[in-house]
């Protein structure tokens, strides 16, 4: 059958339409695949070498979303068996060997094909900072043993280093705000926008040897030594941050006991923060080894002492307050304690590490008021040792110290940092945020591996989206034009 001229033109137009549409569709699908389909997952490993123990964390994130918010997730949290690295001063090799169990777990989580491309870091905090201050050669030996052990792993080991206290606080702040999605948001048009700064969360960290406070103040930071500035997702963030060595939970307990020991006129020390009915014999050798403990007039003391609890929260608070120098800040609205500059606390806060563990034990992590927290801790301190043991079924090795820790936290947060009945509700005591353990490790990894790049990925994503939209528009317009032409041909009168 022979086609007429009009039918031939119509057929040719439809053929060109189909070919153009198919070609464009292929290009769109290729571009859309780049934008929409999941890509390879990347991994990172960070070890937190704290004063009381070491933890290993494995993080993962989609490779094509490294500038997005909340894409990093925690794949593994492993607590290393044994004490903190600083406890291996007399046997450095054991410090390295202690990490092998958690390292094996990390290698099992990360695909073998990605081992060599996976960065791994170890950051040591206040425990090792104190050991470095006391005996630098012992600290160096521990770092050498750890470096050797981790260097044998088939990962991209970036080294082990001493993490300054200020960085510890600042990285913890990054972690919380990153996980909560408060640092950046992607708009509908594909552009990165900065959330209102008022939504950012402050960080309160209580470790074994030090404590840190970090937040965005209401005005400029007057003491620049307490200021940290970051460029995150292309936006500048300036925070107040300070770390207090020797004010961590373990060192506070040591300092408190040493203070009572040195004031005791006999071999029996009465401890107001221990529950009535508690009694134990303690060795003094380890107590006075810490650089945080100021030993005076020890010749009259025997190597061992009997410590007896009295369960007196009022006397306990009085003894704890003597660990601070509050008089150095009298009359100053921008001072915490020990003469340290601090602007007034502002905004919501997450309190983690020992802040959380202590208040979790005391059932004070559900938004209770300051008055309720005070009453709860005081009532707990007044319980007898038998009552406390029976309630806990003897399962908690820290049982003896929760009274002192609870009263210390209240003193630190209220008398030290300046929280009040009004601002206390702004504190959330948390272990995790959005399924991720809170601490400095994620912020440390993001900072050192540059996992928080500038806007390049966002620009690429916006361009990709633009190409995709342009392609769809082209197809629609082309089809519309050709179909219009076809309709016109069909309506022509026959010859």
Strands (E), 63-177: 73-79, 119-124, 156-162
Place of tokens 């602007």: 343
Catalytic residue among 7, 105, 168, 428: 168
Known catalytic membership, residue 105 = no
| Strand 73-79 to 119-124 pairing | unpaired
Q: Which residues pair with 205 in a beta bridge?
A: 212, 352
Do 131 and 183 contact (CB within 8 A), yes or no? no
Look up residue 442 and give its two tokens: 């994620």
Closest CA to 171 of 413, 448, 495: 448
Query: How many angstroms from the chain centroid is the CA of residue 136?
Result: 28
What whole-number distance in Å separates Cα of residue 324 and Cα of residue 327?
Answer: 9
| Strand 436-437 to 227-232 pairing | unpaired
What whole-number distance in Å separates Cα of residue 442 and Cα of residue 454?
Answer: 18
What whole-number distance in Å separates Cα of residue 345 and Cα of residue 367?
Answer: 18
What whole-number distance in Å separates Cα of residue 482 and Cα of residue 495?
Answer: 23
Do 212 and 278 contact (CB within 8 A), yes or no? no
Query: How many angstroms from the chain centroid is the CA of residue 173?
Result: 7
Sign of the torsion formed by the C-alpha atoms of 277, 281, 287 and 293: positive
Catalytic residue annotation: 168
């Amino acid at each position: 059958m022979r086609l007429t001229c009009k039918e031939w033109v119509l057929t040719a137009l439809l053929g060109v339409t189909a070919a153009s549409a198919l070609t464009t569709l292929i290009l769109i699908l290729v571009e859309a695949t780049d934008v929409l389909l999941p890509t390879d997952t990347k991994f990172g490993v960070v070890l937190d070498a704290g004063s009381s123990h070491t933890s290993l964390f494995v993080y993962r994130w989609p490779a094509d979303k490294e500038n997005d918010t909340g894409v990093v997730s925690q794949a593994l949290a492993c607590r290393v068996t044994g004490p903190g690295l600083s406890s291996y001063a007399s046997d450095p090799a054991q410090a390295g060997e202690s990490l092998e169990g958690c390292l094996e777990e990390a290698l099992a989580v990360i695909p073998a094909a990605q081992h060599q491309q996976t960065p791994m870091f170890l950051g040591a905090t206040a425990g090792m900072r104190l050991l470095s201050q006391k005996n630098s050669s012992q600290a160096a030996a521990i770092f050498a043993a750890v470096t050797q052990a981790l260097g044998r792993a088939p990962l991209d080991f970036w080294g082990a280093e001493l993490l300054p206290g200020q960085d510890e606080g600042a990285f913890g702040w990054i972690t919380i705000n990153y996980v909560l999605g408060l640092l950046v948001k992607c708009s509908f048009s594909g552009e990165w926008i900065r959330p209102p700064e008022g939504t950012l969360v402050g960080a309160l960290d209580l470790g074994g040897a030090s404590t840190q406070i970090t937040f965005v103040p209401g005005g400029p930071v007057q003491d620049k030594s307490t200021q940290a500035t970051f460029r995150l997702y292309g936006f500048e963030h300036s925070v107040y941050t300070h770390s207090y060595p020797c004010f961590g939970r373990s060192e506070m307990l040591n300092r408190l006991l040493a203070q009572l020991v040195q004031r005791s006129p006999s071999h029996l020390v009465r401890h107001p923060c221990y529950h009535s009915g508690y009694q134990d014999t303690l060795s003094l050798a380890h107590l006075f080894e810490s650089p945080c403990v100021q030993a005076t007039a020890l010749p009259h003391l025997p190597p061992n002492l009997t410590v007896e609890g009295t369960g007196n929260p009022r006397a306990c608070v009085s003894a704890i307050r003597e660990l601070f120098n509050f008089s150095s800040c009298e009359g100053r609205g921008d001072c915490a304690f020990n003469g340290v500059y601090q602007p007034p606390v502002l905004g919501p806060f997450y309190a983690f590490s020992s802040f959380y563990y202590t208040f979790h034990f005391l059932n004070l992590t559900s938004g209770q008021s300051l008055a309720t927290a005070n009453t709860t801790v005081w009532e707990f301190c007044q319980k007898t040792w038998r009552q406390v043991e029976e309630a806990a079924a003897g399962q908690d090795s820290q049982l003896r110290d929760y009274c002192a820790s609870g009263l210390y936290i209240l003193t630190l947060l209220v008398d030290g940092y300046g929280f009040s009945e009004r601002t206390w509700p702004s504190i959330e005591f948390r272990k995790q945020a959005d399924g991720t353990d809170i601490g400095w490790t994620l912020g440390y990894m993001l900072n050192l591996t540059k996992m928080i790049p500038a806007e390049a990925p966002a620009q690429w994503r916006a361009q990709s989206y633009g190409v995709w939209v342009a392609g769809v528009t082209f197809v629609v317009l082309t089809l519309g034009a050709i179909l219009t032409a076809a309709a016109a041909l069909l309506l022509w009168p026959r010859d």
